[in-house]
């Protein structure tokens, strides 16, 4: 009791002493102490902001020694205050800054300050030269000058990047004659760019990107003859690029990307003789690239991608002696790749994928410059890979997939030690694989699938110490055997070599800790599957279907903790299937086609040992004859009425015939049995599948079957598996995996309202599934119906699976809403439009998840809601406080959602970018 009284007495004494010293402190120090008391300082960044004794000099300020505070030489006035990156939060009290009349620099960037930015700071600190308030949460309108535009006549630097400001851009800033840097990017400013912004006297840097600006870009910007850097993209303007920009003679950097601009590229840009970087990607620019653009010989970076540009690459590009980046991807350009591009001495990155280019690549490509990244995929190029493409020894990414290339792979690629990524799939390359993996120390990704290669897999592949992904599938004449040490490649995760005529046995599974996917289906592999496979602790998928593997199934497979897919069907396996539930969970299809294999989930092994084997065989024979007669009758009826039924199976479904599937409907006439558009059926082996019925209209059979085949080949952990389909001239029955839980996302979230980790996993999973459909399938597959009821779950791990993907687009084709005879460009435009709908619906889905279902289909309603109000609602729904580290992560996810639901399609990110933003949000706040 006595000690408690002493403690209280000491505390009172120190508080009294602090009060006395504070009262005795100078006004500057008092203001800073008051400022500190108003702020939230979770990191204790201002721990040295306190007074113990009065300074030696009566005039010296006590605060001059504090962190972030800089005074003049005699310590009588504060001239600089730097509170950047100190994890501070709260509203700034403007009156606490009035005493700092001599302040020259104020930096409060990279914190979490909120509320309106105090006008007192902006208009009373008349000596201020530099003001940095970037990367905060300031909201409301930017301070208005009330007609007093000269109050900050000395201001040179103003950075307000990444806040939540709204309303129009502040016009009065144009009166600041000394202003050289103005950054108002990354907020929610609306309206048009004021024409007054064309009358800055000294401005050198202007950044207005990433707002909600609209209207026409004012031609007065052409008056900014002192400007060297201008970024005004990622807004939603109307109209065209003003040709007057060509008057900005000092301009070195111009970015108007993602701005909804139409028209064509102005010829007047040729006057920008100092321009080094020109970014006009992701607009609606059309017509040909003007020949005059080649006169900007100072260009280093040129990105015109994701537009509607047509025509050929101008020969005038030969003048780009300093050009390093040339990006023309995702346009409608044609013709050949000119020799002049191969002659550019500084070129290191060439992106022209997804156009209509044809002909051969220039033979000198790579010989005259240090090419680092080449992507010409998804065109119609022919001929061989240039022999010298890596002659300068720095090439690290070579992307040539989905063309018509032929010939052999150049031996020079094996000497290209800098290669990291090679994608040559979907061509007609022949001959042997020339790689010597010991000479490719950094290679991590190789895809040579869907070619005509021969000679087997190089034996030294295990020496590729950084190889992560290797796909050689669908080279039917490849042959050879599996390299003996293939599984010991230290970082190899994905090994795919299906349909390659590979023979011999499976190598011993030693040192295979990193492998996650093994795909070797439809080969001639023999021998046994040895118990050493249990050492592959990361294995998730093993597909050995359609080989000649003998022996039993090793029980140790059950010890693999991550194994979710196993297919051993159509081999020569024998004995009983191990009783562990892991094996039974794979379903019957994983073991079908092995005549001497028994045990659950196949028939019990005791049936094979029964003494009544003869009677069973007789009964089976009678049943078979009856079924055969019924099948023949059914076949005859269907042949006459609707045409022959055919079956298409994908990975995960045994090789059934169409009759097997039709008989499972329980009626000799399936059109009578399957009345509903979606139902269930039990296949002959006991597998239950989801069946969707599609009625073919107006001779759309080939179109629908092509889309279904593409959908069936799309395999991803976040997509519901399409197992196969059977069809005739009038009907299609599509078979879906039935292993998913019937509980939908909406139902799941009712039980997981406060679980941020689960919500984050679901959002990321959906994004990955959509990204795969949009960017890794060719042509892209639009989902068409992204909503919570179409998201199912494979297990209690809450891994989401997208259902119904592609069906809406396919139905449009079937019903003639989309022309199946239109040219490729028109079809691509339709797909792009559907992709944009997916992105918009994904943004709505994020908001639905974050608000526990309160904001459903709220894209239109949310447009006018202030961002800070929305954030508060989301924080409340997820019980995230201002001091919670998760707040920053939640905020970034909300920002991704708001980007996705922007009313103008060109302002939305693609799914690849959206997934990247989500990943950055997660990594930043770990």
CATH number (domain holding residue 759): 1.10.510.10
645 and 773 fall within a common domain: no
For residues 709 and 778, membership in a common domain is answered with no
Token readout for 652 is 């995960």
> Which two structure tokens, joined as six digits, stand for 88?
């501070």
CA 405 to CA 424: how far, in whole Å? 9
Q: What is the pLDDT of residue 714?
A: 82
Query: In this predicted model, what pLDDT tens digit does every residue of 134-177 receive, in sequence order?
Result: 999 999 999 876 655 557 889 999 999 999 999 999 999 999 99
Burial of 576 (0-12, 13-18, 19+ CB in 10 A): middle
Q: Are residues 689 and 771 part of one domain?
A: no
- State whether 779 and 680 are in the same domain: no
pLDDT at 919 over 50: yes
> At 399, is the secondary structure helix, strand, or coil?
strand
H or E element at residue 7: helix 2-24
Most confident of 206-215, 683-692, 858-867, 888-897: 206-215
pLDDT of the residue at 747: 64
Q: Which residues of 292-301 are buried (b: 16+ CB within 10 A; e: fewer)?
A: bbbbbebbbb
In 3-state terms, the chain is what percent helix, strand and coil (to 5)?
Answer: 30, 20, 50
Query: Total structural domains in the chain?
Result: 2
For residue 651, CA distances in Å to 333, 570, 589, 793 come to 37, 12, 10, 20
How many angstroms separate the CA atoms of 115 and 590, rounded?
60
What mean pLDDT is predicted for residues 105-129?
A: 91
Say whether pLDDT at 754 is over 90: no
Distances (CA, A) of 886 to 42, 84, 724, 925: 14, 21, 43, 7
The stretch 618-629 carries a mean pLDDT of 64
pLDDT at 31: 93
pLDDT at 903: 79
Contact 618, 699 (CB under 8 A): no
CA nearest neighbour of 489 among 458, 455, 465: 465
Q: Is the pLDDT of residue 630 over 70?
A: no
Q: Which domain holds residue 913?
A: 745-924
The fraction of the chain above a pLDDT of 90, given in percent, is 55
Interatomic CA distance for residues 877 and 885, integer angstroms = 16
State how far the Cα of 671 lies from the Cα of 662, in Å rounded to an integer: 10
Evaluate whether residue 645 is within a structural domain.
yes
Name residues whose C-beta falls within 8 Å of residue 188's C-beta, 6 or more positions apart in sequence. Answer: 164, 165, 166, 211, 212, 867
- What is the token pair recorded at 887? 């707040």
The partner residues of 255 in beta bridges, in order of sequence, read 231, 279
Q: What does the H/E/C string look like for 777-816?
A: CCCCCCCCCCCHHHEEECCCCCCEEECCCCHHHHHHHHCC
Confidence of residue 420 (pLDDT cuts 50, 70, 90): very high
* Measured distance CA(91)–CA(115) in Å, rounded: 6
In degrees and rounded to multiples of 5, residue 52 shows phi and psi of -105, -55
Closest by CA position to 569, among listed 553, 602, 584, 547: 547
Residues 696 and 769 in one domain: no
Domain C-terminal end among 691, 714, 737 = 737
Q: Are residues 851 and 714 in the same domain?
A: no
Residue-wise pLDDT for 178-201, tens only, equals 999 999 998 999 999 999 999 999
Q: Which of 277-291, 735-749, 880-894 bottoms out in mean pLDDT, i.e. has the lowest? A: 735-749
Of the residues 710, 737, 764, which one is the last residue of a structural domain?
737
Question: What digits encode the pLDDT tens for the residues 293-305?
Answer: 999 999 999 999 9
**How far is Cα 755 from Cα 185, in angstroms, rounded to an integer?**
33
Mean pLDDT of 795-801: 71
What is the arithmetic mean of pLDDT over 793-808? 78
The CA–CA distances, whole Å, from 699 to 671, 703, 704, 731, 816 equal 19, 9, 10, 11, 10
Which residues share a beta bridge with 567?
543
Among 738, 857, 721, 692, smallest CA distance to 786 is for: 857
At 743 the pLDDT is: 62
pLDDT of residue 740: 64
Which residue did the predictor score with more confidence, 41 or 716? 41
**For residue 787, what are the β-bridge partners?**
none
- H or E element that contains 90: strand 88-91
Residue with tokens 């602790």: 537
Q: Within this chain, do residues 761 and 790 fall inside the same structural domain, yes or no?
A: yes
Catalytic residue list: 785
As a whole number of angstroms, the distance between CA 645 and CA 650 comes to 17
The answer to whether residue 584 is domain-embedded is no
ω before 348 within 30° of 0 (cis)? no
More confident residue, 153 or 823: 153
Give the residues across from 646 on adjacent strands. 727
Residue 625 has pLDDT above 90, yes or no: no
Q: For strand 791-793 and strand 800-802, is the pairing parallel, antiparallel, or unpaired?
A: antiparallel
CA distance 722 to 694: 14
Give domain status of residue 621, yes or no: yes
Asked whether residue 716 falls in the same domain as residue 802, the answer is no
114 within 8 A of 136, measured Cβ to Cβ = yes
Q: Are residues 799 and 859 in the same domain?
A: yes
* Beta strand 688-695 pairing with 731-737: antiparallel
Q: Which of 686, 705, 737 is the last residue of a domain?
A: 737
284 domain residue, yes or no = no
**pLDDT tens across 595-613, in order?**
999 998 888 887 555 533 5
Claim to verify: residue 809 and residue 758 sit in the same structural domain: yes
The pLDDT assigned to 698 comes to 67
Calculate the dihedral angle through the C-alpha atoms of 903, 908, 911, 914, rounding to the nearest 10 degrees. Answer: -110
Gap between the Cα atoms of 138 and 194, Å rounded: 22
Where residue 713 sits, what CATH number does that domain have?
3.30.200.20
Q: How far is residue 27 CA from its own chain's centroid?
A: 53
**Domain assignment present for 561:** no
Residues whose CB falls within 8 Å of the CB of residue 839, separated by 6 or more in sequence, listed in order:
770, 900, 908, 909, 910, 911, 914
**d(Cα 860, Cα 841) in Å, to the nearest integer?**
11
Give the phi and the psi of residue 733 in degrees, each rounded to 5.
-110, 115
Is 431 inside any structural domain? no
896 close to 876: Cβ distance less than 8 angstroms? no
Residue 832 has pLDDT above 90, yes or no: no
Residues 702 and 201: their CA atoms lie apart, in Å, by 65
Closest CA to 582 of 559, 602, 605: 559
- Integer Cα distance of 355 and 604 in angstroms: 57
**Rounded to an integer, what distance in angstroms lies between the CA atom of residue 42 and that of residue 38?**
13
Question: Looking at the domain assignment, is residue 694 inside a domain?
Answer: yes
pLDDT for the residue numbered 12: 44
Band of residue 744 on the pLDDT scale cut at 50, 70, 90: low
Residues 633 and 774 in one domain: no
Q: Helix count (H) and strand count (E) of the chain?
A: 17, 47
Q: Do 918 and 924 touch, CB atoms closer than 8 A?
A: no
Please state, rounded to an integer, the average pLDDT across all residues of the chain: 85
N residues, the chain: 926
- Asked if the structure places residue 715 within a domain, the reply is yes
Q: Which of 423-427, 444-448, 630-634, 809-813 has the lowest mean pLDDT?
A: 630-634
SS3 411: helix
pTM strictly above 0.85? no
- Which residues lie closer than 8 Å to 255 by C-beta, 6 or more apart? 209, 230, 231, 232, 233, 277, 279
822 shares a domain with 880? yes
DSSP 474-496: S-TT---B--TTGGG-TT--EEE
Contact by Cβ (8 Å): 330, 304: no
pLDDT of 130 above 50:
yes
Residue 83, both tokens: 């509170």
Round to whole Å and give the CA distance between 737 and 118: 59
The confidence score (pLDDT) of residue 197 equals 97
């Amino acid at each position: 009791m006595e000690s408690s009284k002493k403690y209280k007495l000491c505390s009172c004494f120190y508080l009294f002493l602090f009060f006395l010293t504070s009262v005795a402190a100078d006004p500057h120090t008092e203001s800073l102490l008051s400022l500190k008391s108003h702020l939230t300082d979770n990191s204790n960044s201002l721990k040295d902001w306190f007074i113990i004794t009065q300074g030696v000099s009566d005039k010296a300020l006590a605060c001059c020694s504090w962190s972030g505070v800089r005074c003049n030489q005699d310590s009588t006035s504060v001239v600089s205050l730097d509170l950047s990156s100190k994890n501070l939060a709260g509203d700034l009290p403007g009156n606490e800054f009035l005493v700092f009349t001599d302040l020259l620099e104020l930096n409060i960037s990279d914190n979490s300050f909120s509320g309106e930015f105090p006008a007192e700071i902006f208009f009373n600190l008349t000596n201020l030269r530099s003001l940095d308030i970037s990367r905060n949460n300031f909201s409301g309108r930017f301070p208005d000058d009330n007609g007093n535009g000269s109050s900050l006549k000395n201001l040179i630097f103003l950075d307000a990047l990444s806040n939540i400001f709204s309303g129009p851009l502040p016009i009065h800033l144009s009166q600041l004659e000394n202003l050289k840097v103005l950054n108002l990017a990354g907020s929610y400013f609306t309206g048009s760019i004021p024409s007054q912004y064309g009358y800055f006297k000294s401005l050198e840097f202007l950044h207005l990107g990433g707002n909600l600006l609209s209207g026409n870009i004012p031609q007065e910007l052409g008056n900014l003859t002192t400007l060297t850097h201008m970024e005004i993209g990622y807004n939603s303007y109307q109209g065209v690029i003003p040709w007057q920009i060509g008057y900005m003679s000092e301009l070195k950097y111009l970015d108007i990307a993602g701005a909804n601009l139409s028209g064509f590229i102005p010829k007047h840009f040729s006057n920008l003789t100092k321009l080094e970087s020109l970014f006009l990607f992701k607009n609606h620019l059309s017509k040909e690239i003007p020949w005059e653009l080649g006169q900007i010989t100072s260009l280093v970076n040129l990105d015109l991608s994701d537009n509607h540009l047509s025509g050929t690459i101008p020969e005038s590009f030969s003048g780009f002696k300093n050009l390093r980046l040339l990006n023309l991807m995702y346009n409608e350009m044609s013709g050949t790749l000119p020799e002049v591009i191969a002659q550019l001495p500084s070129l290191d990155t060439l992106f022209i994928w997804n156009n209509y280019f044809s002909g051969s690549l220039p033979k000198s490509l790579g010989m005259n410059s240090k090419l680092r990244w080449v992507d010409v995929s998804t065109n119609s190029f022919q001929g061989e890979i240039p022999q010298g493409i890596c002659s300068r020894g720095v090439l690290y990414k070579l992307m040539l997939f989905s063309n018509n290339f032929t010939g052999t792979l150049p031996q020079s690629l094996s000497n290209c030690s800098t290669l990291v990524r090679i994608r040559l799939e979907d061509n007609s390359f022949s001959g042997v694989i020339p790689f010597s993996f010991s000479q490719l120390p950094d290679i991590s990704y190789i895809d040579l699938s869907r070619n005509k290669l021969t000679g087997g897999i190089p034996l030294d592949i295990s020496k590729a110490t950084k190889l992560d992904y290797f796909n050689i599938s669908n080279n039917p004449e490849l042959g050879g055997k599996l390299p003996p040490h293939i599984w010991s490649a230290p970082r190899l995760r994905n090994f795919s070599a299906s349909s390659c005529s590979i023979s011999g046995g499976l190598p011993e599974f030693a040192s295979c800790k990193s492998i996650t996917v093994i795909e070797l289906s439809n080969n001639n592999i023999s021998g046994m599957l040895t118990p050493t496979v249990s050492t592959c602790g990361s294995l998730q998928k093993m597909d050995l279907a359609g080989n000649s593997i003998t022996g039993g199934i090793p029980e140790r497979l059950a010890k693999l903790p991550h194994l979710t897919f196993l297919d051993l069907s159509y081999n020569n396996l024998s004995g009983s299937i191990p009783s562990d539930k892991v094996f039974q969970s794979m379903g019957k299809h994983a073991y079908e086609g092995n005549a001497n294999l028994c045990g659950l989930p196949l028939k019990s092994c005791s049936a094979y040992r029964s003494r009544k084997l003869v009677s069973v065989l007789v009964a089976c024979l009678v049943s078979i004859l009856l079924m055969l007669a019924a099948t023949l009758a059914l076949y005859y009826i269907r042949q006459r009425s609707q045409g022959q039924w055919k079956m298409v199976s994908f990975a995960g479904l045994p090789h059934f015939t169409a009759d097997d599937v039709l008989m499972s409907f329980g009626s000799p006439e399936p059109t009578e049995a399957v009345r509903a558009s979606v139902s269930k059926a039990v296949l002959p082996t006991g597998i239950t599948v989801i069946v969707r019925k599609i009625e073919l209209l107006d001779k759309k059979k080939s179109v629908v079957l092509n889309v279904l085949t593409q959908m069936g080949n799309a395999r991803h952990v976040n997509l519901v598996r399409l197992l196969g389909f059977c069809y005739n001239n009038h009907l299609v029955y599509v078979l879906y995996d039935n292993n998913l839980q019937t509980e939908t996302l909406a139902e799941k979230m009712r039980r997981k309202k406060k679980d941020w980790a689960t919500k984050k996993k679901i959002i990321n999973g959906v994004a990955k599934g959509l990204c795969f459909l949009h960017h890794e399938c060719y042509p892209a597959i639009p989902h068409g119906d992204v909503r919570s009821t179409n998201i199912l779950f494979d297990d209690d791990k809450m891994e989401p699976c997208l259902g119904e993907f592609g069906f809406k687009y396919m139905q449009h084709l079937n019903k003639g809403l989309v022309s199946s005879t239109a040219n490729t460009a028109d079809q691509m435009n339709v797909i792009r439009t559907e992709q944009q709908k997916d992105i918009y619906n994904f943004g709505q889905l994020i908001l639905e998840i974050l608000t526990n279902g309160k904001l459903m289909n709220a894209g239109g309603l949310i447009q006018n809601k202030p961002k800070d109000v929305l954030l508060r609602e989301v924080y409340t729904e997820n019980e995230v406080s201002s001091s919670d580290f998760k707040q920053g992560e939640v905020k970034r996810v909300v920002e991704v959602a708001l980007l996705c639901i922007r009313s103008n399609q060109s302002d939305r990110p693609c799914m690849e970018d959206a997934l990247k933003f989500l990943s950055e949000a997660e990594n930043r706040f770990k």
